[in-house]
Amino acid sequence: MARPRILVLATGGTIAGMAGSATRHDYRPGQIGIEDYLARAEDLGLQADLDGRQIANIGSEDIGPAIWRVLHAQIAAALTDGAYDGIVVTHGTDTAEETAFLLDLTLATGKPVVLVGAMRPADAVGYDGLRNFANAVRVAGDGRAAGRGVLVVMGDRVFAARDVRKVRTRGSDDAFRGFPRGSVALVTPSALEWFGAPWREKSGARYTFSEHLPDVPIVYVNAGLDPDLIGRLAGPNTLGIVVAGVGEGNMPESVRVRLAQLASQGIAIVRASRVDEGLVDREPDDDTNRFVAARAFNPQKARLLLQLLLAEGIADPAAIQAAFDDPYA
Ligand code: DGL
């Protein structure tokens, strides 16, 4: 069987980080360049041919629209380039779920696109980056990954972009989880086991990528939240607000009243939850308030989806709700 040809796009993160000592507590993400990284990976005996490109070399807290634009363009070109069978993106873990979800919503799904990171820097005891990288290359070279959208590999688990979230700040084996669907595949030394069939029936990009996404702040609810905070977060260009509500997307009555006023003026309001595994169902009051329920999307993913919808001129709460019910329809 021909060896798959994989394009590796490097953005930095801990997977390319160095501490300068095996046991130091602090370290810098994004220190190893892609050429050096691929040279280190040579000893792994990967069953694939790799080309590398450096997109950035930074911590993922600094990744945003400008880098997403370059990444999106490079992946879109590679998807139509017969030279590549799959794409791996090395990325910091802090915002990997956001980059993965944005790409998932805005790229065609013809070939595997896999994000991978690490929880420990390259010179630390127990560096997990090369194992994760080897697993990501396996997944990107597997034709069965196609039709599952953008994937994230951490440890031996493979997650779908729509489900994946970072749930721990420490620990290399359980820092990521899929919700509500768990992991979608498991990489073992001898096999790559997929759980279930591909779920993306339509292979085209679902939404148009834009570097200039509308202003959509996240209002984080806490006990005793002052509704005036909303006025400080929402400016004249704000088109939508995501509420990181308590429990199932709840908020103090004074906050609800303020947000319902904004909704009646045409600002899109999406109720998500600040709870890690928060599932926000639609309630009868959402009709009167003109609110949207985020379902299983956490606030940061709800924000990206809402931004893409608003950028396409979709502002009606019922149409936004339909997209949150099934963003890939
Ligand atoms: N600041 C982090 C980032 O690049 C380092 C954490 C990591 O990559 O695990 O997302």
- CA-nearest residue, atom 8 of ligand 1: 92
Same domain as 117, residue 50:
yes
60 located within any domain: yes
Q: Note the pLDDT of residue 94.
A: 98
Q: Which residues are catalytic?
A: 14
The DSSP output letter for 156 is T
Q: What is the CATH number of the domain that holds 80?
A: 3.40.50.1170
Which of 160, 194, 228 is the endpoint of a domain?
194
Residue 258, domain extent: 218-325
Q: How far is the C-alpha of 56 from the C-alpha of 142, rounded, in Å?
A: 26
202 located within any domain: no
Q: What number does the ligand 1 atom closest to the CA of 95 have?
A: 10
Same domain as 122, residue 254:
no
200 located within any domain: no
Task: Ligand 1 pocket test: pick from 62, 90, 93, 168 the residue with the most ligand atoms within 8 Å of its Cβ.
Answer: 93
3-state secondary structure of 144: helix
φ, ψ (nearest 5 deg) of residue 187: -100, 125
DSSP for 173-191?
SSSEEETTT--SEEE-SS-
Q: How many domains does the chain have?
A: 2
Same domain as 51, residue 183:
yes
Are 34 and 54 in contact by the 8 Å Cβ rule? The answer is: yes
Same domain as 237, residue 301:
yes
Q: Note the pLDDT of residue 269.
A: 98
- CA-nearest residue, atom 10 of ligand 1: 92
208 located within any domain: no
Q: How far is the C-alpha of 257 from the C-alpha of 262, rounded, in Å?
A: 9
DSSP for 10-38?
EEESGGG-B-SSTT-S--BSS-S-HHHHH
209 located within any domain: no
70 CA to centre of ligand 1 in angstroms: 20
Indicate whether residue 119 lines ligand 1 (CB < 6 A): yes
Same domain as 47, residue 151:
yes
Same domain as 247, residue 176:
no
Encode the chain (329 residues) as per-residue pLDDT tens digits.
689 999 999 999 999 999 888 777 778 999 999 999 999 999 999 999 999 999 999 999 999 999 999 999 999 999 999 999 999 999 999 999 999 999 999 999 889 999 999 999 999 999 999 999 999 999 999 999 988 999 999 999 999 999 999 999 998 889 999 999 999 999 998 899 999 999 887 789 999 999 999 999 999 999 999 999 999 999 999 999 999 999 999 999 999 999 999 999 999 999 999 999 999 999 999 999 999 999 999 999 999 999 999 999 999 999 999 999 999 98
60 CA to centre of ligand 1 in angstroms: 6
- Give tens-digit pLDDT for 54-76: 999 999 999 999 999 999 999 99
Q: Note the pLDDT of residue 203.
A: 80
Same domain as 138, residue 58:
yes
Same domain as 170, residue 246:
no
Q: Note the pLDDT of residue 217.
A: 98
Same domain as 253, residue 176:
no
Q: How far is the C-alpha of 249 from the C-alpha of 233, rounded, in Å?
A: 19
Task: Ligand 1 pocket test: pick from 61, 132, 167 the residue with the most ligand atoms within 8 Å of its Cβ.
Answer: 61
Same domain as 27, residue 156:
yes
Indicate whether residue 142 lines ligand 1 (CB < 6 A): no
174 located within any domain: yes
Q: Note the pLDDT of residue 179.
A: 97
Are 240 and 268 in contact by the 8 Å Cβ rule? The answer is: yes
155: left (phi over 0), alpha (psi -120 to 50) or beta: left
Angle at 76 between CA 74 and CA 79, to 5 degrees: 110
188 CA to centre of ligand 1 in angstroms: 25
203 located within any domain: no
Rg (CA), the chain: 20
Q: What number does the ligand 1 atom closest to the CA of 59 have?
A: 4
131 CA to centre of ligand 1 in angstroms: 17
Which residue, among 34, 48, 101, has the nearest Cα to 72 in the 3D structure?
101
Same domain as 187, residue 234:
no
Helix axes 96-106, 65-80, angle to 10 degrees: 50
Q: What number does the ligand 1 atom closest to the CA of 119 have?
A: 9
38: left (phi over 0), alpha (psi -120 to 50) or beta: alpha
Q: How far is the C-alpha of 121 from the C-alpha of 30, rounded, in Å?
A: 9
pTM of the entire structure? 0.96
Question: Hey, what are 250's tokens?
Answer: 């709840």
Q: What is the CATH number of the domain that holds 317?
A: 3.40.50.40
286 CA to centre of ligand 1 in angstroms: 37
201 located within any domain: no
Same domain as 226, residue 183:
no
- CA-nearest residue, atom 1 of ligand 1: 59
Q: Bridge partners of 271?
A: 243, 293
Are 101 and 162 in contact by the 8 Å Cβ rule? The answer is: yes
Which residue, among 218, 202, 201, 183, has the nearest Cα to 304 in the 3D structure?
218
